[in-house]
Amino acid sequence: MAKKKETISLIDTFSEFNELKNIDKTTLISVLEESFRSVISRMYGTDENYDIIINPDKGDLEIWRNRTIVEDDTEIEDPNLYISLTEAHKIDNDFEVGEEVTDEVYLDHFGRRTILNLRQTLASKILELEKDNLYNTYIEKVGQIVSGEVYQIWKKELLLLDDDHNELILPKTEQIPRDFFRKGEHVRAVVARVENINNNPKIILSRTSPVFLERLFEMEIPEINDGLITIKGIARIPGERAKVAVEAYDDRIDPVGACVGMKGFRIHSIVRELRNENIDVINYTANTNLYIQRALSPARVNSIVIKEEEQRAEVFLHPEEVSLAIGRGGANIKLASMLTGYTIEVFRDIEDVNEEDIYLDEFRDEIDDWVIDQLKKIGCSTAKNVLATDRERLIKEADLEEVTVDEILKILKSEFEDESEE
């Protein structure tokens, strides 16, 4: 009876572990049998003559050994594979030479040390299975929104727990700048990637990914979820501003209106989730010229020169529209470039250029090309544009060193001073 109790105890121990770790019974049985066979094989050199019967519902585990009966005068080299006729008759008098004897082997037959090793082996294998299960579960969720409770707050990342108490990581770099969370708070994010180093799955979440914004649109806008409206492109500066291009398959549907909703009701919940990120929704078009114009909204474009081979667009606007096209900190033009896939350069319309002014391209012998390109990106296409722009703005928005800006201003000022002297 004691032997049976020990068997049941072993099964019960790992049945409880199974319930905690969500491993199915079939897998548990397979691991259990594999572990026992490994022990038997180490002890006797083979496990082929053993039958292992496991019934986890009843907590039963039975091990049966099959041995061939040989004559009494035969020298038995391996008592694990063969049994003498006399020994066989102790089990059943009807046995004859050449037949197989099947007898049950109990756990205590293996010894306490072996049983302890068996438990450790099983625990290790089940832990590996749990890690595999976690990896396989979340690798299928990459690109999907999940929710987790804030369990631990660290300087560089948050540790979240999902409903099954699996650990999820939300790095600081994947958080929106204005994100602030408290312990116990529930956080939504998209599964960015699943790393698996040395069979230790690490689930990385993101709230800054464009995919997060896309999934929020799918959740909040029924027409997108139903496939009536398609998101054709997303460009995003997390926590600041985003542009989303949408297209409807039915001409009767206004895709922008459907996404924004009455008085912005539909998009408001998305904006709130993204910490008041300003979201521009525009109509997608295959017409590159028109697409760039819409992407630069709210600025009104006069004309565009597309250079396909360079994936570059030169956009001409009235002077008062240039700052709108560029946006605060260059955000609008940056997002428009990201959305359309074109490098956009903004110019004041040639009609508005004073005859005494000089285009920056004329200074390429004195000023590096990349510096001129940086100035063009903030709407300074002529010498007087640059001179009329605040020095601090040139440093910050054009991303130039103070020494570089001072040298540029010196070159441009000297050009007009020379002209006045002449």
Q: Quick: pLDDT tens for 322-332.
A: 888 999 889 99
**DSSP 8-state class, residue 272:** H
325-342 burial: b if 16+ Cβ within 10 Å, else e: bbbeebbbbbbbbbbbeb
Closest by Cα among 249, 275, 256 to 187: 275
pLDDT at 422 over 60: no
Give the predicted TM-score (pTM) of the model: 0.68
> What total of structural domains would you count in the chain?
3
73 — pLDDT class (breaks 50, 70, 90):
confident
Amino acid 293: pLDDT = 92
pLDDT at 10 over 70: no
Task: Specify if 420 maps to a domain.
Answer: no
Beta bridge partners of residue 152, listed in sequence order = 159
Task: Specify if 236 maps to a domain.
Answer: yes
Q: Quick: pLDDT tens for 301-324.
A: 888 888 888 899 989 888 878 888
Task: Specify if 418 maps to a domain.
Answer: no
Residues 185 and 278 in one domain: no
Task: Specify if 109 maps to a domain.
Answer: yes
Domain CATH number, residue 94: 3.30.1480
Residues 12 and 124 in one domain: yes
Task: Specify if 129 maps to a domain.
Answer: yes
Domain CATH number, residue 154: 2.40.50.140
Last residue of a domain, one of 284, 317, 351: 284
Please tell me whether residue 220 adopts helix, strand or coil conformation.
helix
Residues 260 and 234 in one domain: yes
Residues 118 and 41 in one domain: yes
Residues 119 and 45 in one domain: yes
Average pLDDT over all residues of the chain: 85
Residues 116 and 177 in one domain: no
The residue range of the domain holding 177 is: 147-208
Last residue of a domain, one of 84, 107, 133: 133
Q: What is the mean predicted confidence (pLDDT) over 9-22?
A: 53
Q: Quick: pLDDT tens for 168-181.
A: 999 999 999 999 99
Cis amide linkage into residue 238, ω under 30° from 0: no
Amino acid 193: pLDDT = 96
Q: Quick: pLDDT tens for 248-266.
A: 988 889 999 999 988 888 8
Residues 47 and 166 in one domain: no
Please tell me whether residue 190 adopts helix, strand or coil conformation.
strand
